[in-house]
Amino acid sequence: MSNHELTLTIDGISVTVPHGTTIFDAARLNGISIPTLCHQQNQAPVAVCRICVVDCGERAYQAACIRECEPDMKVQTASEPVLAARQTLYELMLADHPAPCKRQQNSGDCELETQAVAAGVHDVRFRKRAVPVLGADDSSPSIFVDYGACILCDRCIRGCSEIRHNFVIARQGKGYQTAIAFDANQPMGNSSCVSCGECMVSCPTGALTNKRVLAQNLGETANAFSVDTEELLALPVFRGVSGTFLELNAGAVVKRYYKAGETIVREGDNGSTAFYILEGDAEVFIQTPRAHVTTAPDKQDRGLFAVMSSFLQPKAQHKREEENRPPEYIRIDAPVDLPYANPIAALGAGDLFGEMTCMSFYPRSATVRAKTDCVMLEMLRNVLDVMQKNKTFRAQLEANYRSRALVTHLRSVPIFHSLSEEFIHDLRDRVTLLRFAPGQVICAEEDVADALYLVRIGFVKVSQMRREEELVLAYLPRGAYFGEMGLLGEGRRTATCSALDHVELVRIGADDFRAMLNQFPDVRFQLEQVARQRSAENAQMQGRRESNNNPLDQYLAQGLMDAQSLLVLDLEKCTRCDQCVRACADAHDGVTRLLRDGLRFDHYLVATSCRQCRDPLCMVGCPVGSIRRRNSLEVIIEDWCVGCGLCASNCPYGNITIHSFPPTADRPKPVHKATSCDLCHELEEPSCVYACPHDAAHRVKPDEFFAHLLGQAPDAH
């Protein structure tokens, strides 16, 4: 025995170990197992669980993981009093633990529960926790957090900080309210967590579990091959991603080979993956014909009456006189926008597409076809999320975006159309690209206005708080911009903008914004015009909301307050002749957009037809932004709709239907398009109202039309 060593007795066995060795390590080195929960070999001991208590012959039991050995020390690791103390500790912890926890349910290896059973603990004498713990946190795409199952062993904290050096997890709160927290107590998905998985691997219970996103494994097929972790880590875009994470999520990323001409994804299809192009070129385009459902009847079938009908009915269709400029670009789920005139663009190595589908499960916005032989990585949401947080990958994506798409993106915004090339190129290097998680506030009402934002990916909700009630002013899709009102006005934000889903923004700083306004008076003029218009709309909406503070529950329950225009049928006049339905069908190529059915309000039937809601949920998620508001707040569906049906399922009133176009010689498969009442906007009066013989059908503003019923005005009807 050297001077550096000492001898002690553990459970009657004489043990020699170097100075500084803990009792736990000394016992382990000599084949004596001491149970523990908070201690792991690769982490610094903290002795917070106290399960490893041993009797060293001192006044109190010592935590073996932290207590260093001393010469001639006599240690008892499994005496009856020690075992009894351990049992009590297990019971105390189990009283705070939802047994069986998620991990125990899934894999039966919750360390606390298995150790407690091994220690002979079957019933817990203590009452369950009276103070409610934090709820579960499902915000991370790859890790599920169950605060109730956490025993505060700190293994995750040490894993995150000591092993991975990410420093995301820490403790928050005091005493009985103590819990782990991510960053400054953010939901895990909103935090700077990179989903490396170290905390999950470290956790002894079901507090941090692998979500196995979508419970899906992309698996191997004829053109898909699983990729080894080493191979992935060798790729520059995966540099810095945790190998543990990739191993845990094996199968969530595959390598696919496509031959030239092969279709990779098709517009309108549902999916849950994103693609990263490793090699080769692809083209992205919209295949669905750009047409409204109100197409002219087939010329071959045109009889005398059809000819007369054309003559009698003015067909000034699709004229959007309120629009100053026709649309130039169609926004899709890729780093490029498609020109409206010829909706096709190229993607190359290093491009990522399908982010919105992958992160927010929106239908595919365009068809992507291999132009040359291609190699791509197809990945699930958890992998993409980690990659998005990977600095190397982000830098590459941002560089691609800045060099290829940002100019197009800026150009596609009508108000920036007149910016010079020089200015845009200058701006390109100065804008910041930002990411926001669902629900995250981008800017709050009354904050200092310091930037203009362009929506690059996702949807932004614009709202104001009035009388402790949230009033949604707008949902902004990809291509929209916000923040100009604060910059042009009093320097404060006029509304709160938050991310509805995974949002990416282009931030133009206040200085650049002002430089732009000074240099381009035309842009200033247009922005001021838009700001005035938005301000007026907001005031109008607010006024309506406040004036609609009526006592009629039914009015509220039917959501009539939220409607801007209702098709109502006076049931005292309506003879149920269905002329309105027939007229609607005639006006829209045989497909009616209204159903003479719905809820009643007073003696009116609120027909199933678009209400032009102030809070148009139908717009949320449109992958190509084809459902949108006109400047008049009217909801229209643009002709590049890909028929995915998301708007129809989002509409709470069932007022949007999907219409099928039959196959033709050029198009072997039927295509679909969403249809909803367009108020026959090319005509002076909606056809249904015009055709009603009994003066029963009316298109009305509900707050004005029903004012007499709501006690707000004398009977005008």
Partner 1 sequence: MRIDRTHLPWLAATIVAIFVLTAAYLLCAESLGWRSGGTPVGLALGVLALGLMVFAALLGLRKRFPIWRIGRTTTWMRAHLWLGFLALPVALLHAAFHARGPLTIALMALTVLVVVSGLIGAWLQHTLPVKMMREVQFETIYDQIERIRGNLLREADETAGKLEDTLAPGPGIGSTVTLTMLTLPELQPEIAEFHSFYREEVREFIGVERPRVKLSDRVWSEKEFARLRRLLPPEAAPIVVSVEEICEEKRQLDRQVLLHRALHGWLLCHIPLSAALILLVCIHAVGALRY
Site residues (vs partner 1, CB under 8 A): 305, 308-309, 312-314, 571-577, 579, 582-583, 586-587, 595-597, 600, 603, 683-684, 687, 690-695
Tell me the closest approach of the beta carbon of residue 608 to partner 1, in angstroms: 10
Q: Which amino acid is present at 407?
A: V
Pairing of strands 5-10, 74-75: parallel
> Given the complex with partner 1, which of 595 and 617 has the nearer CB atom?
595
- Could you give the CA distance from residue 207 to residue 190 in angstroms, rounded to a whole number? 18
Is the CB of residue 567 less than 8 Å from the CB of residue 560?
A: no
Give the contacts of 689 (CB within 8 A, at least 6 positions apart): 567, 580, 697, 698, 699
Pairing of strands 627-629, 635-637: antiparallel
- Could you give the CA distance from residue 406 to residue 429 in angstroms, rounded to a whole number? 10
> Given the complex with partner 1, which of 460 and 574 has the nearer CB atom?
574
What DSSP letter does each residue of 350-412 carry, written as one string? T-EE-HHHHHH-PPP-SEEEESS-EEEEEE-HHHHHHHHH-HHHHHHHHHHIIIIIHHHHHHH
> Given the complex with partner 1, which of 24 and 604 has the nearer CB atom?
604
- Could you give the CA distance from residue 711 to residue 372 in angstroms, rounded to a whole number? 68
Is the CB of residue 121 less than 8 Å from the CB of residue 87?
A: yes
> Given the complex with partner 1, which of 43 and 609 has the nearer CB atom?
609
> Given the complex with partner 1, which of 364 and 596 has the nearer CB atom?
596
> Given the complex with partner 1, which of 254 and 692 has the nearer CB atom?
692
> Given the complex with partner 1, which of 572 and 666 has the nearer CB atom?
572
> Given the complex with partner 1, which of 283 and 586 has the nearer CB atom?
586
Tell me the closest approach of the beta carbon of residue 590 to partner 1, in angstroms: 12
- Could you give the CA distance from residue 553 to residue 709 in angstroms, rounded to a whole number? 12
Tell me the closest approach of the beta carbon of residue 553 to partner 1, in angstroms: 18
Tell me the closest approach of the beta carbon of residue 685 to partner 1, in angstroms: 8
Tell me the closest approach of the beta carbon of residue 294 to partner 1, in angstroms: 11
Tell me the closest approach of the beta carbon of residue 691 to partner 1, in angstroms: 3
36, HSE (Cβ side, Cα atoms, 13 Å): 28
Directed axis angle between helix 510-519 and helix 521-547, to 10°? 120
CA 109 from chain centre, in angstroms, equals 32
> Given the complex with partner 1, which of 533 and 554 has the nearer CB atom?
554
Q: Which amino acid is present at 157?
A: I
Whose CA is closest to 314, among 697, 694, 683? 683
Query: Cα–Cα distances in Å, from 633 out to 87, 636, 637?
Result: 67, 9, 13
Structure tokens at 198: 């170290």
> Given the complex with partner 1, which of 224 and 306 has the nearer CB atom?
306
424, HSE (Cβ side, Cα atoms, 13 Å): 20
Tell me the closest approach of the beta carbon of residue 381 to partner 1, in angstroms: 39
Directed axis angle between helix 381-389 and helix 391-400, to 10°? 90
Tell me the closest approach of the beta carbon of residue 716 to partner 1, in angstroms: 14
Whose CA is closest to 505, among 473, 472, 478? 478
Residues 641, 442, 613, CA angle at the centre, nearest 5°? 40
Structure tokens at 83: 């075992």
Tell me the closest approach of the beta carbon of residue 568 to partner 1, in angstroms: 13
Burial class (CB in 10 A: 0-12, 13-18, 19+), 23: buried
Structure tokens at 507: 């931030």
Tell me the closest approach of the beta carbon of residue 613 to partner 1, in angstroms: 24
> Given the complex with partner 1, which of 11 and 682 has the nearer CB atom?
682
Is the CB of residue 415 less than 8 Å from the CB of residue 528?
A: no
- Could you give the CA distance from residue 502 to residue 355 in angstroms, rounded to a whole number? 9
Tell me the closest approach of the beta carbon of residue 692 to partner 1, in angstroms: 6
- Could you give the CA distance from residue 167 to residue 159 in angstroms, rounded to a whole number? 9
> Given the complex with partner 1, which of 546 and 695 has the nearer CB atom?
695
> Given the complex with partner 1, which of 316 and 441 has the nearer CB atom?
316
Tell me the closest approach of the beta carbon of residue 586 to partner 1, in angstroms: 5
